[in-house]
Structure 1
Amino acid sequence: MTEPGGFATSYFAPICHLPGMHRFFRRLRRVLAALAVLVLLVAAAIAGAIWWTLPGSSVDARIPGLSAPVDITYDADWVPRIHAASALDAAAALGYVHARDRMFQMELMRRAASGRLSEIAGPATLPIDRMMRTLGLRHHAVENLAALPADARAMLEAYARGVNAYIDRKGRFAAPEFLVLGAPEPWEPADSLLWAQTMGLWLSMNWRQEMARQAVAGRVPAPVLEQLWPRQPDVPLPSAMNKLPTRFAAAAARLLAVLPRFPAPYTLPQTASNEWAVDGRHTATGVPLLAGDPHLAFGFPGIWYLARIDTPGHVLAGATAPGVPFLVLGHNGHIAWTFTTTGADVQDVFVEKPVGRSEYQTPDGPKPFTLREERIGIRGEPDQLMLVRETRHGPVISDLDNPSGPILAVAMANLQPDNTAAAGLLALNRAQSVAEAGKAAAEISSPVQNLLVADAKTIGLFSTGRVPLRKAPENGLPVPGDGSHDWIGWASGDALPHYVAPASGRLVNANEPDWPADFPVPMAQDTFGDWRSQRIRQMLATTDRHTPADFAVMQLDVVDLFARKVLPALLAVTDLKGRALAAQAALRGWDGTAAMDQPAPLIFNAWMEAFYRAVLAHAGIPLTAGGPTADFLSYVLSPAGAHWCNNDCAPMLRSSLTDAVRELSSRFGTDVQAWRWGAAHQAVFANPLLRAIPVLGPLTTITIPSPGDDNTVDRGGMNAALQSVHGAAYRGVYDLANLDRSLFVITPGQSGNPFSSHARDFVLRWRDGATITLGPEAARTTGAVRLTP
């Protein structure tokens, strides 16, 4: 029997006795040992570099221009409390703390809005870069900065000083990503305006919908297109849509294919947010309560950053946006506020008539295009040159597909001169009453939002922004650029919907229209249903003595009223077999609650998605032309809309359930009762740039089973795989009796550094409904920063 290792010893013994072999093996061992040491040193260097990107717990730093020292303390959740001698000092300090925790997020925001992502990401981000260069968001931000009032400009400049102080201090160690990319460029005041420019682009309507309709115009009758966005019973249908030549349909279809759309990275969903408030007649304290939770795209890090800022006689607490020196959502010690999207139509596509190669027709004769050359840097490839053409209406977006084809230019309210959104948000931060907040709303020129606000006595809802007045009614399609549909002015301020101290004592909005059918200003043709606001009103009616805890519970409600409405039609389908029959049986007795531990929400949402696709395919309509799924299918499954199914939807419901069950079985097994909504409906928080990179993708992606769906108050907006990709990444409940008792939560965490312990620490609490307060003092301090001039 050979001893362990005997074979090796006997096999190599003759070799080891060859002349010089002992020296060879000694050298080999030394080389291997040196390599091992080198690997350990490299690993240690990488670990040390990453460690150096983490913010220290105790820091002293300088910011040029401070009028006095600023003290910042961090609580157990890494929420900073900033104590500054002035608003300008506070803005500089906020820039510093934003850069400490979110510098790479800020870098991506300004690159995405400026069309410079491909410089670091390569050709994968060319579509978003080309679109942003064409729209010229950066150019407009620079122009708007120069036109801002001096106080707003000073805040932006102070914020930039704070950001740059951190960049100067840390260089390429400002975030782990900069270890590879190099130190970020200095922050400029105009960079902060890009955040609002981006929001104005994505939270406005409806240039995509116009092109989507045009893509099928001529193949689908106008009344059919109108029904894709069904109206509420008291809202009349618009007059029949114009018919443009069919050659524009092909151009629109091609253009839609090259434009980024949600849920692609750097895009946002069209609908966003819940908000409600009650006055003192409906609260336990006799003082108003307000709740708000904006629904935007999930990401890692999240879009929001909690902070409390104290200056003499003033406080700001709530959600800030990295890159911006103002409080976006929260309270200032006197009022509390939140926003939802109105869906107002502030974008139009114009079809221009070419004249020769360099001009287009206007009512005053031919006019040359305004030309601008853009050079896009592409990592690993030669730069790409773009010639951007603009007409009197706006940039020529059809050049993104085919410069030789029909000329489609887009007019957008957020691209118009004199955008004073920054000044308006500053005025809102300073407002001390509902009335003053209403005046600030008129200054927030873009986007058009529902600003819900409360003070200690009153509640009010105001429309921000400006809505274009048109020569001819908006018809849901691209319009001729001959002057017949030009914008001739603006409606803003008191000309837009607003409500103060309503007789009911309640104000609610969840993206449904808040204007009557006969409102004098045409607000929008395409609007969204009121599924969530119906549910909010139901819950508000259950008691007249609400507390902040009651409102926080309401924000977690997962009852889907759309499901409740259409379930009878689904349960009436007959002749089902096998697992399809078992799936239908799982819906019997279900109350429409989209809980994680049930099969019913999974079956319902998969069935409705399959049915929606089947109905559109039957009509020859691409998915890109469809309107809101719940609104449309509710109409289709009613007697008025049954013609979409040849007056009998049962066969299409039967086949779509079979298709949905087949897909679910391949993903979750054949036992229908074992299916769970949470297994499919995972909330996904991913870095928009790093998500697809091996190793880095998993490190910067967080998934967690979550309840709700696209129609519940606790919203979990879905992608094609039924994952939750947008919803309430921030929730706030504001107690006007004592604003320091207000409740907050964000997700996934305060830090954007994937190696930080505070990058993910809100995720479970956010899902399960836990909240924090932002009082003047933290219960436990975990970090401190002292900033000096």
Structure 2
Amino acid sequence: MTDRTTPSALSSKESGSTPASNPSRTRSGRPFRRPAGRGARMVAAAAMLILPGCAALDPKPVAVDKRLQTFPVSGLDLERPVVLRWTDEQVPFIEADTDRDLAYTLGLVHAHLRLGQISLMKRVAQGRLSEMGGPVAGDIDRALRILGFGRGATETVAALPPESRQWVVAFVKGLNDYQDRLAASKGPWPPEFALLGIRAEPWTVEDVLTIGRLAGTDINWLAWAGLLRERSRNGPDDAGWKSAWARAIEAGHGNAASFGPNETHARLEKLLADLAGLSRTGSNSVAVSPALSDTGSALIANDPHLGMSLPNFWLLAGMRSPSYHAVGLMPPGLPFVAVGRNPGLAWGGTNMRALSSQLYDVSSLPESAFRTETHTIRTRFWFDRTVTVRISPYGPVMSDSDLIPSRPGEVLALRWLGHQPSDEIGAMLAAMRAGNGTEFRAAFADRYSVSAQNMLWADRAGHIGQVLAARLPVRPDGIPDDMISSAGDPQAEWTAYVDAGSLPAAVDPAEGFIASANNRPTTTTGLVPIGLFFSTDERVERLQAVVRASAPVSIDDLKRLQQDVTSPASAKLAAALVLAARVVGLGDRPADAPGQRSLALIDGWQGVYDADAAAPVAFEQLLKTVATAVYGDSDDADSRLGFASNWTQLTRYLIDDLAALPPAEQARILSDGLAAADETLNSFPSWGTMHRLRLGHLMGQAPVIGSFFTYGDWPVGGSRETPMKTAHDLVDDLHSARYGAQSRHVSDLGDPDANWFVLLGGQDGWLGSTTFMDQAGLWRSGQYLHLPLTDAAVKQRFGRVMTLTP
């Protein structure tokens, strides 16, 4: 049953509970913001009446019918009338007689559902946070201006083929017409506008493409943040840095491939983590052949892993026009279905973690080689600021930002494929039309660049496959010896490119299924290394193991797999720590000795992160204590913990690094860790009391008012690399998942109506809407929305009907 509780009610009624005596504080006494009670909310609201838009702090419930009354239905820029149907969850299905009318109506729909969200995304992509947040965002805005998500937008627009151009122009016209109608009627505007000081401004094709580049953020940048800090502490020939780089490459270059080669600084890291949350950072995809399915038809399951916030980073939509007939997940502000289904084919992707960027030291170049840009950063509640951005022949000079660590004398420039023209919108439109794997692969050739995706597909004829949707540079030096290349070095130049048409692909593997989970997709030649920092193999191996064990595989099996909370790597690491404890004699102590309770819990643990399980609490506390002791506390200037605590590093090196210490030191560390685990269990008797799903609006990160935008705080299972990802860092206290499996899709290709989706949150971005987070209850209980394709089923499922007229 769909949860139709309003955000305001959820914030006070469904916040869950913690074992701490003071629920606003953690075991260590540090504050943990929770939804304010009604009285506290009223006091705070009264204190903030000086702020515009204070009504957004406690919005009134708005039902679906009232929300839909604001949708324009006449005098629209249409060629023919359009039928627009809606479900009770405010999921639309558009029936248009022309493709142009479909694109235009999609613009209206995106503006209706997510105008506040996409307006915020546009300003993030353009480095305009200071316009909303004031001077505190100045340094981040400067870094974003240097990076320049929209730097290649004008050139990209000029290079768009007619089909892509006409489609996106119509979409932008829909965005603008909806916004103009709001202006003419004097609102109501999304509550974020008044609260953040956003003023409506015309949308352009360049704006949409810039949001697309934001969604295409290279997640390698997040890995680079820690590596740059580690590198900047050492000289160019320092053995410590060379060892760290070698370790990073070894740990990040996993062994498991989806298919074989024979088949066809802290603020900086927070910024990059937030940008990664807006892009396709993770995901699971599984395609199952008819021989392995219980229905005798191909099956597919996809669950993107992104930031767990509201509004969701996807919206659901269905559509039909002369060229398109599909249902699925659309990125807000972008006019295509990225994960979904048409009558003949279904598709979904996982981030490839490809090498689409490179850093260069350009300090040897003459000043004449650089050009400059002048930017004015407009600042709310403060004075505007003018900054200068330098652009080298290799790209923007990132080290001009104070947020970028570098060695003395180095000038670091970023070369990114996202600054070059490409046509991702055209590629996705062609993919939406594809009826078989050959057409699907061809959709990405010659035009798709960022962000690189492992695209899995399954078709009605029973075939399954994987396509490497990417544009990658041919690198003469293969895997580099350092993360910084020298300008002018011929071995570091990008001399040629390969794309989906020439990269390896898989079709109908002998095993009968394909699984992808941000692991190394396959093997390529040394001249084209796909990437350096893949996820550990455990998620893909878990997917593979469960599919094998489930055969014949059903839709319900795939749904259960999307809720699986088992981490084989955690089980293996726990077993190694237990063995190490026994080797140093800690297993011989009395049963009531400090740490023995935790040792018994962890011994034999299978890595299952159930919300009601105690073992994950003991393991995570032991893990953090051991890692901190081995690598140094994060507060120490010489600590390597930030670099070494990456999950790929911990699972590969921690046990060996612990074993390299004297036996007495090992015994002390393990004893302290187990004793700390016992203490932690007294405060957090189960994983769900410590590990929380804290669901709130993006504005929940704001100081003072953030608690007003938290609408749910529940115990949740899962961990950093379980199939149902709820990612976290090293933890020993109350915390919330940073990002994870926030949407799901499953389809049976034997039936065009057999498609199920769910969002962690809801369709509507309007604060107070009854469909703002009505799907959160479905997500938590493992339920889905049914989104069919056939005319009869669509008419039954999408019961609210509008006719849009020219």
- AA of the residue aligned to 1:653: L
Amino acid aligned to 1:414: L
Q: How does 1:324-723 map to 2 (within 5 A)?
A: 324-354=334-364, 359-360=366-367, 367-401=368-402, 406-442=409-445, 443-456=447-460, 457-473=462-478, 474-484=480-490, 485-516=492-523, 521-572=528-579, 573=581, 574-575=585-586, 579-617=594-632, 620-626=638-644, 628-629=646-647, 631-636=648-653, 645=661, 649-659=666-676, 664=680, 669=683, 675-695=685-705, 697-719=707-729, 722-723=735-736
CA separation of 1:407/1:67 partners in 2, compared to 1, >3 Å: closer, same or farther? farther
Superposed CA deviations along residues 134-188 of structure 1, whole A, max 9, x for unmatched, are 0121232232122111111111111111111221122352311224536421222
Deviation, structure 1 residue 745: 0.7
* 1:241-256 map, 5 Å: none
Q: What is the aligned partner in structure 2 of residue 12 from structure 1? A: none
* Conserved? CA contact 1:102–1:322, under 8 Å: yes
Of 330-339 and 65-74, deviating more is 65-74
SS of the residue aligned with 1:85?
coil
The answer to whether the 8 Å contact 1:212/1:256 transfers is no
CA distance in 2, matches of 1:602, 1:49: 39
Aligned residue in 2 for 1:220: 240
What letter is aligned with 2:420? Answer: P
Paired position in structure 2 for 1:246? none
Residue-by-residue CA offset, 1:549-570 (whole Å, 9 max, x unaligned) = 2111111111110122122223
Q: Alignment partner of 2:786: what SS?
A: coil
Cα displacement (A) at 1:624? 4.0
CA distance in 2, matches of 1:547, 1:737: 12
Change (3 A) 1:62 1:649: farther
Q: 1:752 — aligned with what?
A: 765
Q: CA deviation at 1:471?
A: 3.5
Q: Tell me whether 325-334 or 220-229 shows the greater mean CA deviation.
A: 220-229
Q: CA deviation at 1:755?
A: 0.7
How many percent identity over aligned positions? 26
2-side partners of 1:417 and 1:636: how far apart? 38
Shift of 1:782: 6.5
CA separation of 1:269 and 1:661: change in aligned 2, threshold 3 A: farther
CA contact (8 A) 2:253 2:532 kept: no
Once residues 672 and 612 of structure 2 are traced to their aligned partners in structure 1, the CA distance between those partners, rounded to angstroms, is 26
State the distance in 1 between where 2:645 and 2:423 align.
32
How far has the Cα of 1:658 moved from its partner?
4.0
Question: Which residue does the alignment assign to 1:16?
Answer: none
Q: Is the 8 A contact 1:207 1:349 kept in 2?
A: no
Q: What residue number does 2:85 align with?
A: 73
Structure 2 counterpart of 1:165, from 162, 167, 177 = 177
SS in 2 for 1:515: coil
TM-score, length of structure 2 as denominator length: 0.82
Q: CA deviation at 1:216?
A: 3.9
CA contact (8 A) 1:296 1:728 kept: yes
* Residue identity in the other structure for 1:190: E
Q: Whose Rg is larger?
A: 1
- Distance of aligned partners of 1:64 and 1:483 in 2 relative to their CA distance in 1, 3 Å threshold: farther
Match of 2:284 among 274, 282, 295: 274
1:725 is the counterpart of 2:738: yes
Distance between the aligned counterparts of 1:44 and 1:106, measured in 2? Answer: 21
Distance in structure 1 (CA, Å) of the matches to 2:75 and 2:517: 42
Identify the match of residue 286 of structure 1 among 287, 296, 302. Answer: 296
Larger mean CA deviation between 42-51 and 325-334 belongs to: 42-51
Contact 2:214 2:278 in 1 (8 A): no
Task: State the partner residue of 2:28.
Answer: none
1:262–1:134 CA distance, 2 compared to 1 (3 A):
closer
* Counterpart for residue 734 of structure 1: 747
Equivalent position to 1:186, from 178, 202, 222: 202
The answer as to whether partners of 2:254 and 2:534 remain within 8 angstroms in 1 is no
Amino acid at match of 2:444: A
Instruction: Report the alpha carbon displacement of residue 326 of structure 1 after superposing the two structures with TM.
Output: 0.8
1:136 maps to 148
Classify 1:47/1:764 alpha carbon distance in 2 versus 1 (closer, same or farther; 3 Å).
closer
Structure 1 partner of 2:43: none
- Higher relative contact order, structure no. (Cα contacts within 8 Å, ≥ 6 residues apart): 2
The residue identity in structure 1 corresponding to 2:803 is R
| Kept after mapping to 1: 8 A contact 2:301/2:558 | yes
Which residue type is aligned with residue 574 of structure 2?
L
Offset at residue 613 of structure 1 (A): 3.3
Which among 91, 95, 106 is matched to residue 83 of structure 1?
Answer: 95
The one-letter amino acid paired with 2:423 is T
Q: Which amino acid aligns with 2:486?
A: P
Given that 2:538 and 2:568 are in contact with CA atoms closer than 8 Å, whether structure 1 keeps it comes out as yes
CA distance in 2, matches of 1:416, 1:59: 36
Q: Which moved more, 1:332-341 or 1:606-615?
A: 606-615
Q: Is the 8 A contact 1:569 1:637 kept in 2?
A: no
- Per the alignment, do residues 326 and 652 of structure 1 end up closer, same or farther by CA in structure 2, a change over 3 Å counting? same
Alpha-carbon distance in 2 for matches of 1:433, 1:412: 35
> Does the 8 A contact of 1:684 with 1:725 survive in 2?
no
Select which of 225, 232, 252 maps to 1:208. Answer: 225
In the alignment, structure 1 residue 103 sits paired with structure 2 residue 103? no
User: CA shift at 1:404, angstroms?
Assistant: 12
Letter in 1 for 2:142: R
Please tell me the residue identity of whatever aligns with 1:728: A
- 1:783, 1:635 → 2: CA distance? 54
Amino acid at match of 2:508: A
User: Which amino acid in 1 is paired with 2:619?
Assistant: F
**Given that residues 594 and 674 in structure 2 are in contact (C-alpha distance below 8 angstroms), is that contact kept between their aligned partners in structure 1?**
no
Secondary structure, in 3 states, of the residue corresponding to 1:220? helix
What is the alpha-carbon distance in structure 2 between the residues aligned to residue 311 and residue 269 of structure 1? Answer: 29
CA distance in 2 between counterparts of 1:562 and 1:45 reads: 44
Partners in 1 of 2:694 and 2:55 — Cα distance? 32
After TM superposition, the structure 1 = structure 2 runs for residues 11-30 of structure 1, keeping only pairs within 5 Å, are none
| 2:254–2:537 CA contact under 8 A, matched in 1 | no
- Give secondary structure in 2 for the equivalent of 1:716: coil
Structure 2 unpaired stretches of 5+: 1-52, 257-264
CA distance in 2 between partners of 1:66 and 1:646 (Å): 76
Counterpart-to-counterpart distance in 2, 1:616 and 1:133: 35
Deviation at 1:677, TM superposition (A): 0.9
Question: Residues 229 and 654 from structure 1, CA distance in 2 versus in 1: closer, same or farther, beyond 3 angstroms?
Answer: farther
Q: In 1, are the aligned partners of 2:56 and 2:192 still within 8 Å (CA)? A: no
Q: Is the 8 A contact 1:304 1:322 kept in 2?
A: yes
| Corresponding position of 1:241 | none
Q: CA RMSD in A?
A: 3.3
**Residues 450 and 462 in structure 1, CA contact (< 8 A), matched pair in contact too:** yes
* 2:119 counterpart of 1:114: no
For residue 155 of structure 1, the aligned residue among 167, 185, 196 is 167
Structure 1, 675-684 or 197-206: larger mean CA deviation: 197-206
**Pairs within 5 Å for 1:296-315:** 296-312=306-322, 314-315=324-325
Whether contact under 8 Å (2:126, 2:145) holds in the other structure is: yes
Contact kept, 8 Å, 1:166 with 1:174, in 2: the verdict is: no
Q: Determine the C-alpha separation between the residues in 1 that align with 2:425 and 2:105.
A: 18
Q: Which amino acid aligns with 1:472?
A: D
How many residue pairs align between the two structures? Answer: 714
Note if contact 2:418-2:449 (Cα within 8 Å) is conserved in structure 1: no
Tell me the CA shift for residue 200 of structure 1.
2.2
1:544 positional shift: 2.9
Q: Which amino acid aligns with 1:654?
A: S
Question: 2:775 is matched by which residue type in structure 1?
Answer: F
